[in-house]
Structure 1
């Protein structure tokens, strides 16, 4: 396949993708296809490669029923989507430069030798203390981590579209209530995780209206 053909396939996927409001409950995404979508989330980039996310694939029907009143944006999707994901961000407990989680990521996952680890430790410390002022509040740190989960979300939405699977990103929920429900289920690791965003995947019931966007010249400025 030549480059122009590949580019057109990618653009076609972006035109195909839309925020699907209702899914066909009788159509199930094949396991291998959904694992592929999850893999694109796993392989997504993150600041310093710290992967501040977890993906909960919600299959438990009782949990879905508990979530529904606190997630109005998921109405019609929790009930009909083939797969429903809650994407969680790690909190300040895990994301501070001197936390066991960050040391684990650098030493055990990224396999940094001692001299590299100690140098990176100082870089991350400065970044969090002064460059981005992330230590000033729990929310500042969470928002930094949460922004990164949207990179994984976007990649999963696009990957799904490229193989003909529909999706819907969801922010319409009460964050505190969803965290309380997940906490009661024992899923938040002593509040080391909190909900960031949700997404539903499946197959559309009906085609959407044509996609609309601003003209490319209205949103792009070449600064020379």
Structure 2
């Protein structure tokens, strides 16, 4: 069995985090290979979610006309839409398709996780109780939607880290008018019905220039509290 040099791996990971920054403008002449971008997407697909329900959908927008239409309502993404090699819309399921007895949840439990009937029933009851009591999601559709959005940020983070590991830049974005972006996506047939809403956006590519400032973060002691 091959021995892993843990210290070397740790150093490599920290270097990737130091390399990664919110890239504002990409080199439009450089494109990410299909192999590399499929690797990035795979790290998103393999990400964890609450109860394993995978509330996300990743829409890779390479169509120039659609990118242009998104520039208006996505005010924080204009330069990225113009220059990024790959642009991803991260959608989250809404309440009706994340409720415990919904078609999607039952598909995940029965067909994807392949749970036996008795375990499926137990999990359905547990999810139902969690949604109604523990997190009190069912009384407010927007709160329910945001529960899915919070999970969407897990694959987003994993994809950005994976990209940084192989020298690819990224930028996550919330700078958009949610209602107007969703209307564009409905008009273009990207969102069908009322199953999904947009959680965030992310651009991937290669930086046009180096960051002007070094990465700034609070000291570790300011953001971590140990209770022994």
With normalisation by structure 1, the TM-score equals: 0.99
- Contact 1:97–1:124 (8 Å) recurs in 2: yes
In structure 1, what is the equivalent of residue 52 of structure 2? 49
- Contact 1:38–1:156 (8 Å) recurs in 2: yes
Does residue 127 in structure 1 map to residue 130 in structure 2? yes
Superposed CA deviations along residues 59-91 of structure 1, whole A, max 9, x for unmatched, are 111111111000111021100000000000001
- Contact 1:81–1:200 (8 Å) recurs in 2: yes
Superposed CA deviations along residues 130-159 of structure 1, whole A, max 9, x for unmatched, are 000010111011000000000010000000
In structure 1, what is the equivalent of residue 152 of structure 2? 149
Q: Among residues 210, 213, 224, which one is paired with 2:214 in the alignment?
A: 210
In structure 1, what is the equivalent of residue 13 of structure 2? 10
Q: Among residues 28, 33, 36, which one is paired with 2:36 in the alignment?
A: 33
CA distance in 2 between partners of 1:178 and 1:167 (Å): 21
CA distance in 1 between partners of 2:31 and 2:189 (Å): 28
| Moved >4 Å (runs of 4+) | none
Give the SS at the match of 1:172: coil
Aligned length: 224
Does residue 139 in structure 1 map to residue 142 in structure 2? yes
- Contact 1:183–1:191 (8 Å) recurs in 2: no
CA distance in 2 between partners of 1:60 and 1:2 (Å): 43
With normalisation by structure 2, the TM-score equals: 0.97
| C-alpha displacement of 1:25 | 0.4
In structure 2, what is the equivalent of residue 193 of structure 1? 196
Which consecutive residues of structure 1, in runs of 5 or more, have no partner in the other structure?
Answer: none
Q: Among residues 201, 219, 225, which one is paired with 1:221 in the alignment?
A: 225
CA distance in 2 between partners of 1:49 and 1:189 (Å): 23
In structure 2, what is the equivalent of residue 182 of structure 1? 185
| C-alpha displacement of 1:189 | 2.7
CA distance in 1 between partners of 2:223 and 2:175 (Å): 26
Which consecutive residues of structure 2, in runs of 5 or more, have no partner in the other structure?
Answer: none
CA distance in 2 between partners of 1:204 and 1:81 (Å): 9
Give the SS at the match of 2:203: strand
